[in-house]
């Protein structure tokens, strides 16, 4: 019987990667009654989950031993490949288990991982998320899944504590949807930031401007959350600019492979590249405002 066919009371989950997003996601699964073993490269980021009922493993191989479902929430494709394959973690997994990769990586990596796991009789679902730390803590993430429909359907009870899952296509399609999501996020952040620069340069109040357009056609979660960050100038990372750039790099590589020209994405990709290159990779992606202010000779939003 595959992992997707077992009842919740018998499922064991290994959660690999308990950083800003992974920790609250793992905590949601523990709260839903699953037996969860966690591992993180920095053990200090996994240890607090023990108080919630998780078992902390010293190695990823230890974490996945006996697990029905392995969830990865790691930095990039290189990290996922290293943890699953180069460190031999996959050798400790049983045939019939399922890997749910909730990291954000390029679609071709997801398809490669799926093929390599299939050779061992292990299912693979690429299921990146959107919603940030707030969504991870509240269990309201948007989960974009690629893979076999029956496998994804059989994982509904595992996805449910973390958010709303939609299958968007075959293997790799979840990651493609995440790239498209990140295009929208990045371009919208850029638009809101440019509007803030324009308003302040003309003598208006960014805070009042944001309030004035709420509920109109420009309303969005970006305006609500990241617009608020810009007004309050609070740029501690929920989603870092380096991760935003990583996703934009993948989006541009994918567009090139598909012979597409995406001028808006290309423009914001250039600006995030410069922002990160100037040492701001660990600032929240709403911090692109700082880059645009600097570019216009208005550091701190002032002349």
Q: For the chain, give every domain's residue range.
A: 3-170, 177-301
Query: What CATH number is given for 3-170 in this structure?
Result: 3.40.50.720
**95 φ/ψ sector (left φ>0, alpha ψ -120 to 50, else beta):** beta
Q: What is the pLDDT along the chain (303 residues), one digit of tens a residue?
A: 334 444 445 689 999 999 999 999 999 999 999 999 999 999 999 999 999 999 999 999 999 999 999 999 998 999 999 999 999 999 999 999 999 999 999 999 999 999 999 999 999 999 999 988 889 999 999 999 999 999 999 999 999 999 999 999 999 999 999 999 999 999 999 999 999 999 999 999 999 999 999 999 999 999 999 999 999 999 998 889 999 999 899 999 999 999 999 999 999 999 999 999 999 999 999 999 999 999 999 888 764
Residue with tokens 């460190």: 87
Fold of 177-301: 1.10.1040
SS3 label, residue 191: helix
Intrachain domains 3-170 and 177-301 with the same fold: no
Active site residue 178: yes
The residues with which 130 forms a beta bridge, in sequence order, are 142
| Residue in 162, 57, 49, 58 with CA at minimum distance from that of residue 100 | 162
Active-site hit among 6, 149, 178, 283: 178
The whole-number pLDDT of residue 3 equals 40
Cβ(128)–Cβ(134) below 8 Å: no
């Amino acid at each position: 019987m595959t992992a997707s066919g077992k009842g919740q009371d018998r499922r064991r989950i290994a959660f690999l990667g308990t950083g800003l997003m992974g920790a609250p996601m793992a905590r949601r699964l523990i709260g839903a009654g699953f037996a969860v073993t966690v591992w993180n490269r920095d053990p200090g980021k996994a240890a607090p989950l023990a108080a919630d009922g998780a078992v902390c493993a010293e190695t990823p191989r230890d974490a996945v031993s006996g697990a029905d479902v392995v969830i990865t929430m790691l930095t990039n494709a290189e990290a996922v490949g290293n943890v699953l394959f180069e460190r031999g973690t996959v050798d400790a997994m049983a045939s019939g288990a399922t890997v749910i990769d909730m990291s954000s990586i390029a679609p071709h990596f997801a398809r490669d991982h799926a093929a390599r796991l299939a050779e061992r009789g292990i299912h693979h679902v690429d299921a990146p998320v959107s919603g940030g730390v707030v969504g991870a803590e509240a269990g309201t993430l948007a989960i974009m899944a690629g893979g076999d429909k029956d496998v994804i359907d059989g994982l509904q009870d595992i996805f449910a504590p973390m958010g709303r899952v939609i299958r968007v296509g075959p293997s790799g399609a979840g990651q493609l949807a995440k790239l498209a999501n990140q295009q929208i996020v990045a371009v919208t952040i850029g638009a809101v930031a440019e509007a803030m620069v324009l308003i302040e340069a003309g003598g208006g109040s960014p805070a009042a401007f944001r309030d004035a357009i709420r509920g109109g056609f420009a309303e969005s979660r970006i305006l609500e959350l990241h617009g608020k960050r810009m007004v309050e100038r609070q740029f501690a990372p929920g989603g870092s600019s380096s991760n935003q750039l990583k996703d934009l790099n993948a989006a541009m590589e994918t567009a090139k492979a598909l012979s597409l020209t995406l001028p808006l994405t290309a423009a914001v990709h250039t600006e995030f590249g410069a922002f990160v290159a100037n040492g701001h990779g660990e600032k929240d992606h709403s911090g692109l405002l700082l880059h645009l202010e600097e570019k216009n000779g208005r550091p701190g939003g002032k002349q």
